[in-house]
Structure 1
Amino acid sequence: MGHKNSKSYSLSAKTRSNLPLSLISFKINESLPRNHPQSMTEIPSGIHTYKLPLTPIESTKIIENYVVVWFGRNIDEDRNSINQIRRVAHSFQLFTDIDELFAFIVKLKDEKLLLILSDPFAQKIVSSIHQTSQLNAIYILSNDRLQDELWIKQFGKIKGTFTHMESICKKLKDKLFLSEEDIIPIEVLDATTIIIQYLIKKILLDEIVYHKKSRKRLIKYARQQHANELDTIKEFEENYIPSKVIWWYTRKCFLYVAMNKAFHTHDIEFIIKMGFFIRDLHRQINQSDYEIDNQNESIVYRGQGISEHELEMLKNNKNGLLSFNNFLWTNTNRDTSLQFAYSARNNPDLIGVLFQMKINSSIKSISLEKLSYDLNSESGILFSIYTVFRIDEIKQVDEKIWLIDLILTNDSDQQLQDYFRSVERIENKTAWQQLGFYFIQINEFDKAELLYRILLQSNATDDSEQLAVLNERLGFLYNKKNNLIDSLLHYKKSLEIYLTISLSDDSSLYSIYFNIGNIFHKQNNLNEAMENYKCALNIILHSLKIDLIKVATVYYHIAEIYNAQGLFIEAIQNYQSSLESELKIAPHRHLTLANTYNRIGAVFYQIKDFITAFSYYEKTLKIQKKYLSLNHSTLAETNYHIAMTFAGLQQYRKAIEYAALAVNIARHSLESNDDNIRLYEDYLHELREKTLIGVLPNGPVDV
């Protein structure tokens, strides 16, 4: 029988337009997630992400990238001076036209301008652009210093007049060196960031397959982003070899700048683009025979500026863990590092810090003395990416200068060991699979998707099984975002790859067929859904070890399709098969069973076998009363189902009894304006009018 106010619920969260309104079903939130892939398990209990912030506590300062510009008449003929500047500045532009210079300055966004002027009209130019925010410093190249000194005092950004380009280049070198040394971000680590850094490092250094095309992709990108360094890029393309990687890194050309920026912004895509260079640099460091002076302990230093917020963050995390998010460039000379710390005070937003680091031979490092591009690097020591330290003493030693003691950790650190063991609980074969899975489990779906797309588009893996897994995970993520078209595309691609490397009945194909069936089901393409569900069922039934949960799930979805097609006998048979497997693995009062009992009762109600329908609804209610509170809204729905069943049997007094229970429970469990309350009230009112029975058999349900 039907009812104008009856409500149809879908157990699998699908709208069935062809179901009679009188068919009542519902979804219990605590039940088995029928319409989700069973291959994505819960996060291991050893990873306590709920205790920690999911966003890294990182550096807040803005990186200042500098571009050097030289303006003057006929200066393009002075090749010697141009070459001097190029050796100092990784980003350099030459202008002889004043309009082109102004247009260039206007377009600057993130970069700061260091301007060299060698023109009789320098005073006029300076007065026009001195207030420009992008302009950081001006150097005047002139043979008449006395005359120049009469007007330069009016403009604070002018750093002096110079008669030789060598003098300007020395000033530029100091400026650029100090600024670039200052941009490596620090990060106080929690469990989440440690795990992410650990897995990214494994991906970059151990898992990605780098080909010649990896270098070509980086070079193509560099030409687009660093057009002022085309000569250097060409030299890199023609002459780069892994044994010269430190020479290229310390040259501070486009490679150094791009890598710093990528690590600072957590740009995974570009970090992977530079992966071959990062791996070569790491390997050269780890192949080093450099030994610290003392077998037990040595001290290295690093001076840089940090924000006041970062300083407070470090103070509040004493004994916590800290990493530098790049290759760590340190110095054995304390005074040299202290100079960098003092230079930071020139920026009013920064505080100078001297990191004093205790190191030992357990972590590899390399001396830059014979490998650096700069021959004056005998005191430089380089560590690999994501080197982790423990924060020790913090004290102020001068105005806006702080000394921070750090102790180098290694993999035997107990806290790190605990985190690494939690990673091992993520049951995936590779680090990138573990990282993607981890992102999913902490609800960072966009990061997981980005990781998978980068790896797929960069062809970073040439392993067929890995490619199949990549496509499968992208299918899963797009399904989560309800992008069914792209989800289906990647699941099909994954299946296509799997079928080339596996037998058609391989148990690993179960989840692929199941998920493809699920998408077709959502799209109401029932025939295609049925075909894929049956493939999944065939695989799981012929597995060496039959997973009864998977068996129950597939039978359930097959039953849903038969039900939607109006094939009710077939639907009941498959629901019963699902129930049979569930009864073998779950207690008889489990909510999953209540879910299935309810669905079977709904089908019997639809074919007007009201007695059998009631028997299943009664089993549903018995389990729900065991596991749910007395005023749970789900109990209201089940009582409503039973009321309709008794109405079908024309036992109206019983129908009114259960309808009244539905109303009372709903009033205590739902918001007063909830549509379900009105639905149950209207149905109860109609039953009373129809039978002239106006007595409530039960009082209100206690809250």
Structure 2
Amino acid sequence: MAIPNLVNDKKHLGMFSLIWLDQNANLDELISKIKKNFKIQRKLEESFSVNGYSLHNQSRTRLSIPFLFSQIFIDSLLKLKSNENDQNNLIRYLQHEYQNNPNELNNIQQFKENYLSNKVLWWYKRKDFFFSSTLNAVLKTENLSMMFLFRSFLFDIQEQLRKYPSKQRLKVYRSQIMSIGDDYHYINNAIDYLLINSFLSTTTSYSTACSLFDQLNIDSQSTKVIFEINADPNVVTSKPFGDISELSNHSEILFMPGSIFRVDKCVHELSEPNIIQMTLCNENDLNLNEQIGNDMANPRLIGKILSKMGKNDLAEKYFQRLIEQLSSNDPLLADLYEDLSQVLSQTGDDQMSKKWHEKSIVFNQQYQLMRKPIG
């Protein structure tokens, strides 16, 4: 194991000195402690990506665009059918990304050969494995192209969490190291609701959550935070949470990406950690259907939002995928052909834009003939 240069790394000096000053530790124990503490440090610094919404800065029926888009995009991904080609493209991408890492290449090959949808949580929780870290990195950075490729696995996890739901209301905890100036201040002073873009792992044990802080020195620009979450399975409409303790070394409750939490209270403690109390919500609490109107159920919505955001390559890919999934006489095709025409026009591909526009006109004419009464 290569020990990092800690001399100039103030964040890790305290942690390293705790181990180094243990005069009775033999070499194996020393390396074991270093590994353990670095794993804890990485775990605590794994931020979860959030979009916030404030009732004070916006009308209740006018949600922020990032907040709204995150919710709609995740919902749309989970409804969009996947195919074997997507999974093959994902495997090829991962093989390229990890081409210099023989261990991960072997893991990817195992994943390719042995993956089963009903075992997705086992793969997700597998230690020192690419799957969960890569998936959450894609979700946190909102890498939309990669989210398309991962969507079948998102769907599989959602279905497995539905099979192992909590039977009663829970209070769960998540420990986190946060920057005082940005992250903590943002949630403490400016946010009423949080939407978590990635998977959120929590524990039912407050002491377990706090124990991750025990042997770490936190710098003056950061603070220890415990998220205390009240979760009622009866309020869940589309984003389930489930008990995956059987796959963990402690009690663990996992929440789906897109879960929305109301920030109830921030409790400041003289001796850290500070506590942010939250409650799991559903979409109805924020009137998402009222905000979007009848378009919420329209599969074209996500493509149109992508186009408005200037992500025309993704909008084109999304519309193409919808077209592939519809029957040849589905009336929605005319609108999708026109959507594609507009997207391609914005990218400067006038020839293909014209082609799809003409295809929309022809389809409408043929559809009207099919609907015309005989006789």
- Say if 2:241 and 2:254, in contact at 8 Å, map to a contact too: yes
Alignment partner for residue 230 of structure 2, among 358, 374, 377?
Answer: 358
- Structure 1 residues 478, 344: CA separation in 2 closer, same or farther (over 3 Å shift)? farther
- Say if 2:344 and 2:350, in contact at 8 Å, map to a contact too: yes
Measured in 1, the distance between the counterparts of 2:189 and 2:358 equals 51
Match in the other structure for 1:475: 341
The alignment-based identity, stated in percent, is 21
Match in the other structure for 1:12: none
Measured in 2, the distance between the counterparts of 1:344 and 1:470 equals 54
SS of the aligned residue for 2:111 comes to helix
> 1:663-702 counterparts in 2 under 5 A?
none
- Deviation of 1:163 after TM superposition, in Å, equals 4.5
Alignment partner for residue 280 of structure 2, among 375, 399, 408?
Answer: 408
- Deviation of 1:451 after TM superposition, in Å, equals 2.7
Alignment partner for residue 278 of structure 1, among 122, 141, 154?
Answer: 154
Matched, 1:435 2:308: no
Match in the other structure for 1:462: 325
For structure 2, list consecutive stretches of 5 or more residues without a partner in the other structure: 54-62
- Structure 1 residues 323, 412: CA separation in 2 closer, same or farther (over 3 Å shift)? same
Letter in 2 for 1:423: I
- Deviation of 1:337 after TM superposition, in Å, equals 1.1
Alignment partner for residue 257 of structure 1, among 133, 158, 161?
Answer: 133
- When the two structures are superposed, what TM-score results if normalisation uses the length of structure 2? 0.78
CA RMSD of the aligned region, Å?
3.7
For structure 1, list consecutive stretches of 5 or more residues without a partner in the other structure: 1-69, 71-114, 117-125, 140-151, 509-542, 545-703
- Say if 1:396 and 1:403, in contact at 8 Å, map to a contact too: yes
Measured in 2, the distance between the counterparts of 1:359 and 1:503 equals 48
Match in the other structure for 2:47: 183
- Say if 1:178 and 1:343, in contact at 8 Å, map to a contact too: no
- Structure 1 residues 346, 303: CA separation in 2 closer, same or farther (over 3 Å shift)? same
> 1:619-630 counterparts in 2 under 5 A?
none
- Say if 2:306 and 2:315, in contact at 8 Å, map to a contact too: no
Match in the other structure for 1:420: 289
Alignment partner for residue 315 of structure 2, among 449, 452, 456?
Answer: 452
Match in the other structure for 1:205: 78
- Say if 1:351 and 1:401, in contact at 8 Å, map to a contact too: yes
Letter in 2 for 1:426: D
Question: Cα deviation per residue 1:550-574 (whole Å; 9 max; x = unaligned)?
Answer: xxxxxxxxxxxxxxxxxxxxxxxxx
Match in the other structure for 1:193: 66
- Deviation of 1:263 after TM superposition, in Å, equals 1.7
SS of the aligned residue for 2:190 comes to coil
Letter in 1 for 2:76: I
> 1:302-451 counterparts in 2 under 5 A?
302-308=174-180, 309-317=182-190, 320-340=192-212, 346-362=218-234, 363=236, 364-370=240-246, 372=247, 374=248, 376-377=249-250, 379-399=251-271, 401-413=273-285, 416-417=286-287, 419-426=288-295, 429-430=298-299, 433-440=300-307, 443-444=308-309, 446-447=310-311, 449-451=312-314
Measured in 2, the distance between the counterparts of 1:436 and 1:456 equals 6
Measured in 1, the distance between the counterparts of 2:200 and 2:323 equals 26
- Say if 2:316 and 2:343, in contact at 8 Å, map to a contact too: no
SS of the aligned residue for 2:209 comes to helix
- Structure 1 residues 400, 451: CA separation in 2 closer, same or farther (over 3 Å shift)? farther
Would you say how many aligned residue pairs link Structure 1 and Structure 2?
Answer: 346
- Deviation of 1:242 after TM superposition, in Å, equals 1.0
- Say if 2:337 and 2:360, in contact at 8 Å, map to a contact too: no
Select the structure with the greater relative contact order (CA < 8 A; seq sep ≥ 6): 2
- Say if 1:341 and 1:354, in contact at 8 Å, map to a contact too: no
- Say if 2:344 and 2:352, in contact at 8 Å, map to a contact too: no
